[in-house]
Amino acid sequence: MVAGGMRGITAMLYETSLLDAEEGIRFRGRAIPELREKLPKARGGEEPLPEGIMWLMLTGEIPSEAQVRTLSAELAARAEVPKAVFDALDALPKNAHPMTQLSVALMAMQPESKFAKAYQDGAHKTTFWEHAFEDSMDIIARLPAVCAAIYRRTFKDGTLVAADASLDWAANFAHMMGHDSEAVKELMRLYMTIHVDHEGGNVSAHATHLVGSALSDPYLSLVAGLNGLAGPLHGLANQEVLKWLNETREKVGDNATKEELTEFVWATLKSGRVVPGYGHGVLRKTDPRYTCQREFALKHLPDDPMFKLVGKLFEVVPGVLTETGKVKNPWPNVDAHSGVLLQYYGITEANFYTVLFGASRAIGVLSQLTLSRGSGYPIERPKSVTSQWIEEKFGKV
Ligand code: CMX
Indicate whether this model's pTM tops 0.95. yes
**CA 162, chain centre distance (Å):** 25
Closest by Cα among 354, 356, 344, 315 to 332:
315
Cα(147)–Cα(362) distance, integer angstroms: 12
Ligand 1 geometric centre to CA of 268 (Å)? 14
For the chain, which domains are there?
17-235+358-375 (1.10.580.10), 237-344 (1.10.230.10)
Ligand 1 geometric centre to CA of 280 (Å)? 6
Closest residue to atom 45 of ligand 1, CA basis? 233
Torsion over CA: 167, 173, 174, 178 (sign): positive
Beta bridge partners, 26, equal: 18, 31
Ligand 1 geometric centre to CA of 279 (Å)? 5
Q: Which atom of ligand 1 is nearest to the CA of 279?
A: 37
Other CB atoms closer than 10 Å to residue 299's CB: what's the count? 10
The phi-psi region of residue 369 (left if phi > 0; otherwise alpha if psi is between -120 and 50; otherwise beta) is alpha
Other CB atoms closer than 10 Å to residue 262's CB: what's the count? 18
Q: Are 377 and 210 in contact (CB under 8 A)?
A: no
Ligand 1 geometric centre to CA of 274 (Å)? 7
Closest by Cα among 51, 39, 42, 58 to 292:
39
Residue among 226, 229, 280 to mutate when testing ligand 1 (max atoms within 8 A of CB): 280
Q: Which atom of ligand 1 is nearest to the CA of 5?
A: 30
Ligand 1 geometric centre to CA of 15 (Å)? 26
Q: Which atom of ligand 1 is nearest to the CA of 328?
A: 26
Q: Which atom of ligand 1 is nearest to the CA of 203?
A: 50
- Please report, for residues 257, 358, 392, the alpha-carbon distance to residue 160 in angstroms, rounded to integers and kept in the order given: 45, 20, 61
Cα(340)–Cα(293) distance, integer angstroms: 10
Closest residue to atom 12 of ligand 1, CA basis? 327
Which residues surround ligand 1 with Cβ inside 6 Å?
202, 233-235, 237, 269, 274-281, 321, 326-329, 333-335
Ligand 1 geometric centre to CA of 27 (Å)? 24
Beta bridge partners, 332, equal: 278
Active site residues: 234, 280, 335
Ligand 1 geometric centre to CA of 339 (Å)? 19
ipTM above 0.85, yes or no: yes
Other CB atoms closer than 10 Å to residue 122's CB: what's the count? 6
Q: How is 36-105 classified by DSSP, letter by letter?
A: HHHS-B-TT--SBPHHHHHHHHHHSSPPPHHHHHHHHHHHHHT-PPPHHHHHHHHTS-TTS-HHHHHHHH
Q: Are 229 and 99 in contact (CB under 8 A)?
A: yes
Closest residue to atom 44 of ligand 1, CA basis? 277
End-to-end Cα spacing for the chain? 12
Tens-binned pLDDT, residue by residue, of the chain (397 aa): 999 999 999 999 999 999 999 999 999 999 999 999 999 999 999 999 999 999 999 999 999 999 999 999 999 999 999 999 999 999 999 899 999 999 999 999 999 999 999 999 999 999 999 999 999 999 999 999 999 999 999 999 999 999 999 999 999 999 999 999 999 999 999 999 999 999 999 999 999 999 999 999 999 999 999 999 999 999 999 999 999 999 999 999 999 999 999 999 999 999 999 999 999 999 999 999 999 999 999 999 999 999 999 999 999 999 999 999 999 999 999 999 999 999 999 999 999 999 999 999 999 999 999 999 999 999 999 999 999 999 999 998 7
Beta bridge partners, 25, equal: 19
Beta bridge partners, 334, equal: none
Cα(224)–Cα(158) distance, integer angstroms: 27
Q: Quick one: pLDDT at residue 396? A: 82
Closest residue to atom 46 of ligand 1, CA basis? 234
Closest residue to atom 40 of ligand 1, CA basis? 279
Cα(355)–Cα(102) distance, integer angstroms: 7
Closest residue to atom 20 of ligand 1, CA basis? 327
Q: Which atom of ligand 1 is nearest to the CA of 287?
A: 48
Closest by Cα among 386, 364, 268 to 324:
268
Closest residue to atom 11 of ligand 1, CA basis? 327
